[in-house]
Structure 1
């Protein structure tokens, strides 16, 4: 007869494990756990990959070319299920992720896509409790990522020149977080003038605008020593102008520019190949760190490439560029 003490304890099943409580409201994550509730936004995905985001309202119906769904049939169920419409269409039902929300939300200006938002949060080292300045706010996509990264003990100060963009961003950020985020301030105005007038001291300054080089002095004055300046620019001419302006300023480390490309893959049995769609160039990112007051970065020992600052170059010129190099390039 087997010893009762030798019997193994059965492995816990998914059903027997305790449910996680909802995320605490004071975390301001924009995320909920548990059953779907009225007032929440959900995301439906049909069999062809078409996506629909909408707010759950008791007694309301969702309509598509595959019939309708009753909101009441969704409320009270745990996300991650499949439901059929009145005409037999199948839909996956989940709460939208932040990366899904920002690409489908209403837009005033173009949004910063998740691949770049993720790079900004990582490479600008946005941390819980950080004081971040952002300009401009666009449609609020990056703002959502920044607010989630700084958490309830940090602050994001957003500046936007255009009132219509600010209104759209305010609506989107409020929708995602379920209310007015206490760590966010949004001000209308030009950063070059509004930031010095505000007296804000920042750990990070993020510039998403047509002429970010116009704001380098204001950003330098606001940044704490060791703080990070990051610019998001779309074209090579903007990239060059911003990098050279930061170099000429002299109060930052050598600017580091890069871009990221994302390619999906098709995987079915032995058919494994790159996908036909690719998120290629969206923008260039540039980072530089603020030196302590009165300090200068080490002088570059590598000479510029021939012609780099030749007769065709009309932008800012590094102050420590040897005159001989300039003459050589002019003669090249």
Structure 2
């Protein structure tokens, strides 16, 4: 339900129930059986728009213990990893299940989603959210507990999405399961995670040069001559990284563009891609 100020309230209707507001209650019985898009009137005369929540609304408002991938990022993940009906998808870091909802819808009844989660309490929240949205746990979904690098299943996958603290620890395991041409997406929160994951992929050699993205979204206000950016802005939520798996025995061509001076200097301690030499140690440093 949405009030006159645009505030949204998620309500699960049940016979005999009431939705209480500062302007009086609204009987659930008055809404059950009605079409979407009606205007409900509270006892105190306040109007509320009534619609079933969209997937976007559910992902933002769902119960959670772990942070979720928000719709603006989930939309780009589904598009840029090319999730298609019937695909086999590996998801690691199921969290509260927000991305799982979107993936299951896109995969359809012929697809398969393997979701890995290290913490049992997070997995249980995800299961409850999926059951709440779909009415049951889809038969195309399998939740596996444990560290991905240790418990990864034997099946090949077409797409892999890693939402975890250290995705670089799982690159080798995922590479063994991802089919040639398959797409890998890594979702991380910080720039240091972004850099280390990108260099791990380059060092591995079996993936294309990773594409690194960050997306923001901004609302707009438009009434008559008053056209301006809105006050609500969805800024940084995470970094997205996309790459594709090469065929066995093939190594990604070396980049023609040289790294920036100092990119892999003496202070750099991360994975070093092929062809990138360590910076020489000057005498003063040796002393």
Per the TM superposition, whether the score is higher than 0.5 is: yes
Q: In the alignment, which residue of structure 2 is the partner of 1:134?
A: 91
Tell me if 1:114 matches 2:71.
Answer: yes
Counterpart among 227, 237, 240 of residue 182 in structure 2: 227
Q: Spell out, residue by residue over 1:272-326, the C-alpha distance to the aligned partner (whole angstroms, 9 max, x if none).
A: 01112211111000011000111111121211111110112111111222x4x84
Tell me if 1:314 matches 2:265.
Answer: no
Confirm or deny: 8 A CA contact 2:266 2:280 kept in the other structure: no
Structure 1 window deviating more from structure 2 (108-117 vs 56-65): it is 56-65
Give the direction of change, closer, same or farther, for the CA distance of 1:330–1:242 in structure 2 (3 Å limit): farther
Confirm or deny: 8 A CA contact 1:307 1:329 kept in the other structure: no
Q: How does 1:93-104 map to 2 (within 5 A)?
A: 93-104=50-61
Q: In the alignment, which residue of structure 2 is the partner of 1:78?
A: 35
Q: Spell out, residue by residue over 1:179-222, the C-alpha distance to the aligned partner (whole angstroms, 9 max, x if none).
A: 11111111111111111xx2121001100011111110111001
Structure 2 regions of 5+ residues with no counterpart? none
How far, CA to CA, are the matches of 1:60 and 1:313 in structure 2? Answer: 61
Larger radius of gyration: 1
Confirm or deny: 8 A CA contact 1:310 1:330 kept in the other structure: no
TM-score, scaled to structure 2: 0.96
How far, CA to CA, are the matches of 1:118 and 1:160 in structure 2? Answer: 22
> Which stretches of structure 1, 4 residues or more, deviate above 3 A after TM superposition?
325-331
Q: CA deviation at 1:54?
A: 2.0
Confirm or deny: 8 A CA contact 2:266 2:279 kept in the other structure: no
Q: How does 1:1-332 map to 2 (within 5 A)?
A: 44-195=1-152, 198-321=153-276, 323=277, 326-327=279-280
Confirm or deny: 8 A CA contact 2:40 2:49 kept in the other structure: yes
SS of alignment partner, residue 46 of structure 1: coil
Q: Output the aligned Cα RMSD.
A: 1.6
Structure 1 regions of 5+ residues with no counterpart? 1-43
TM-score, scaled to structure 1: 0.83
